[in-house]
Chain A
Amino acid sequence: LAKTTQPISMDSYEGQEVNITCSHNNIATNDYITWYQQFPSQGPRFIIQGYKTKVTNEVASLFIPADRKSSTLSLPRVSLSDTAVYYCLVGGDNQGGKLIFGQGTELSVKP
């Protein structure tokens, strides 16, 4: 299972775009990259998942370079309610669906 490295914390202001980068140098060929969001005392919530290039949904965008050794979660125009911990995970089918959660990035959005 590929290990991931993310910044421990980030600060931002309302209305700004936030980019959180995750390093996964040992990503395997069949691994996907998944991001979760977690609020205090709640279960993690799936945000976005991708394999390569760019993926966009109604919540965020995920940018993955050609070598796939890193990925960037982009949150457009954050609000106070985006204050949460964001986890980057890497995994594939051959791990039986098991996910390894790191420490995540604690994003604090200020007014």
Chain B
Amino acid sequence: SQTIHQWPATLVQPVGSPLSLECTVEGTSNPNLYWYRQAAGRGLQLLFYSVGIGQISSEVPQNLSASRPQDRQFILSSKKLLLSDSGFYLCAWSVRLAGQETQYFGPGTRLLVL
């Protein structure tokens, strides 16, 4: 069966510090991978998605970047964090079922920028 891992689970970082959040998927090959952010407990916002190694699409221009160095690894980064980067970050992967892709989410990383 497939599993998705995210770490760390929680993170407290000062403004201006760098960020690196990692997501890995097991049990599947060539998945689509996604990064979402959720602020104030509601409404997920799609940040990045990737259909393959080195292929990244950005949905919202911002202080963050993403990379996919391996097939089942997706990394969210920032060189200098802003207060507004605080939130709940979710990684997801998708599989095609009967012609429609279904996304499955990881446990999330709670980021607090102070």
A residues contacting B by CB (< 8 A) are: 32, 34, 40-46, 49, 51, 85, 87, 92-93, 96-104
Contacts and interface: CB of A to CB of B under 8 A. Distances in A.
A104 B43 contact: yes
B102 A43 contact: no
Contacts of B110: 41
Contacts of A102: 43
A35 to B, nearest CB: 11
B105 A97 contact: no
Interface in B21-79: 32, 34, 36, 41-46, 49, 51, 57, 59
Interface of B: 32, 34, 36, 41-46, 49, 51, 57, 59, 88, 90, 92, 94, 97, 99-108, 110
Nearest to B91: A43
B105 A43 contact: yes
B101 A97 contact: yes
A98 B108 contact: no
B46 A99 contact: yes
A102 B34 CA distance: 17
A104 B42 CA distance: 7
A96 B49 contact: yes
Given A41-B88, A44-B105, A97 B32 contact: yes
Interface of B is mostly: strand
Contact of A93 (B43, B57, B59, B99): B99
B41 A40 contact: yes
B103 A49 contact: no
B92 A43 contact: yes
Contact of A44 (B44, B45, B57): B44
A86 to B, nearest CB: 12
A43 B90 contact: yes
Contacts of B108: 41-43
A104 B104 CA distance: 17
A38 B3 CA distance: 18
A45 B49 CA distance: 19
A103 B51 contact: no
